[in-house]
Amino acid sequence: MDLSDIRREYTRGGLRRNDLPDEPLPLFEKWLQQAIDAKITDPTAMTVATVDESGQPFQRIVLLKHFDRDGFIFYTNLGSRKALHLSHNAKISLHFPWHAIERQVHITGEVEKLSSLEVMKYFTSRPKESQIAAWASKQSNRISARQALEGKYLELKQKFSQGEVPVPTFWGGYRVKVNSIEFWQGGENRLHDRFIYSHDSSNWNIDRLAP
């Protein structure tokens, strides 16, 4: 299948150095809110890239659940493939593909595990069905058929029909400590605007990158 003729022009606007705050977080928050306001499907969805012990990269879509000056937070099964990768290599990459508004954000950093208190606080805020699903799924493990997964879910739904669902010991979360954040804004004639914030020991440095 030849896809070489599939293209479009990017015409929604540019990004200039004068538009940039001294730190990246205010701009990320502004862009995320604009993605939400534009009613982009799953605006908090991000591609999470990790690397296994052989150097093979893997990617998957995960939902961002919180961000602040301390980092970007997501949750997962601690036995999942991504978690196993991160236990050997804490380096990670996040990517927000807001194509509908001709923007992308790319983040690099390293992860640290969230505390039990942080995990419990978020887990107990989830719908009960999602809590039960976390118990039912041994994420990334091979299963014989979907019916096995559904059967386990129904079994646990009955088990936890009364009272609260406890936090699984194998479920947790990560905070991504940011090393760099790149903002990409589509431009006409493929002259896109790219700015990268890189963090040193005390400051954010800002550079324009060629498209």
How far apart CA 20 and CA 36 sit, in angstroms, is 20
27 annotated as a binding-site residue: no
Catalytic, out of 12, 16, 17, 190:
190
Beta carbons within 10 angstroms of residue 205's beta carbon: 10
* Residue-wise burial string across 112-149, b where 16 or more C-beta atoms lie within 10 A, e elsewhere: ebbeeebbeebbeeeeeeebbbbbbbeeeeeeeeeeee
What are the distances in angstroms from CA 73 to CA 68, 76, 155, 176?
9, 10, 31, 6
How far apart CA 195 and CA 186 sit, in angstroms, is 12
130 annotated as a binding-site residue: yes
142 annotated as a binding-site residue: no
What are the distances in angstroms from CA 128 to CA 13, 98, 121, 167?
43, 30, 14, 11
113 annotated as a binding-site residue: no
3-state DSSP helix/strand/coil % of the chain, to nearest 5: 30, 35, 35
50 annotated as a binding-site residue: no
146 annotated as a binding-site residue: no
33 annotated as a binding-site residue: no
81 annotated as a binding-site residue: yes
61 annotated as a binding-site residue: yes
131 annotated as a binding-site residue: no
39 annotated as a binding-site residue: no
Per-residue DSSP letter, 29: H
140 annotated as a binding-site residue: yes
16 flagged as catalytic: no
Q: Which residues have a catalytic role annotated? A: 190
The annotation places the binding site at 7-10, 60-65, 75-76, 81-82, 104, 122, 126, 130, 139-140, 184, 190-192, 194
Name the binding residues for FMN.
60-65, 75-76, 81-82, 104, 139-140, 184, 194
Q: Which residues are annotated as a binding site for substrate?
A: 7-10, 65, 122, 126, 130, 190-192
